[in-house]
Amino acid sequence: MKNIGLINKETTALVVIDIQDKLMPVMQQAELIFANANRLLKGASILQIPSYITEQYPAGLGNTCTAIEMPSDITLVEKIAFSCMQSQQLLESWKKNNINTLILCGVESHICVLKTALDALAAGFDVHVVADAVSSRTAENKNLALERMRQSGAFIVSTEMLLFQLIQEAGTPAFKAISKLIK
């Protein structure tokens, strides 16, 4: 059966990649990235999806921006490899929680997000990249990265598309809470 990107919240994790102090001032549409990453984090919390925030070499690039509203139960992971798939801490947590689907957002689209997506796909994960929650220093690099990930089998989605895909029906408390996030 062909994989069409159906997503099961029970086996999914959100990974917010490297939204850090020294990176974000040079990213395209930084305010949009902050807003949508926060929507994704809040949505993941509502839907009880585990979330992870990574920081690439924080000694040099700073910590996660204060514009990101980190939940109290967030798993914060420092890394030096571009790909999150090289983090034993993440891999062990995903294995323990039976995670086989990753939702990716963050920066830079053509470096850490791309490397993570490609490595995750190669390892057998389903990957959903949130196009309106990733960025690069140039729009061209972002667009090329999204196309490269699509060519390799990642599903390119929007914040709203993804959040509603995780809900099965209208009228539920989760639907109402997610709807408020989108408005």
Per the annotation, the verdict on 183 as an active-site residue is no
Per the annotation, the verdict on 21 as an active-site residue is no
Q: Any idea which residue has 């796909």 for tokens?
A: 121
Rounded alpha-carbon distances, angstroms, from residue 47 to 14, 40, 102, 148, 170:
11, 10, 15, 29, 14
Give the active site residue among 42, 79, 115, 142: 79
Query: 79 forms bridges with which residues in the sheet?
Result: 56
Instruction: State how far the Cα of 28 lies from the Cα of 80, in Å rounded to an integer.
Output: 23
Burial class (CB in 10 A: 0-12, 13-18, 19+), 120: buried
Instruction: State how far the Cα of 90 lies from the Cα of 25, in Å rounded to an integer.
Output: 27
DSSP 133: E
Give the active site residue among 84, 112, 126, 132: 112
Query: 64 forms bridges with which residues in the sheet?
Result: 20
Task: Read off the tokens for 181.
Answer: 């996030």
The catalytic site residues sit at: 18, 79, 112
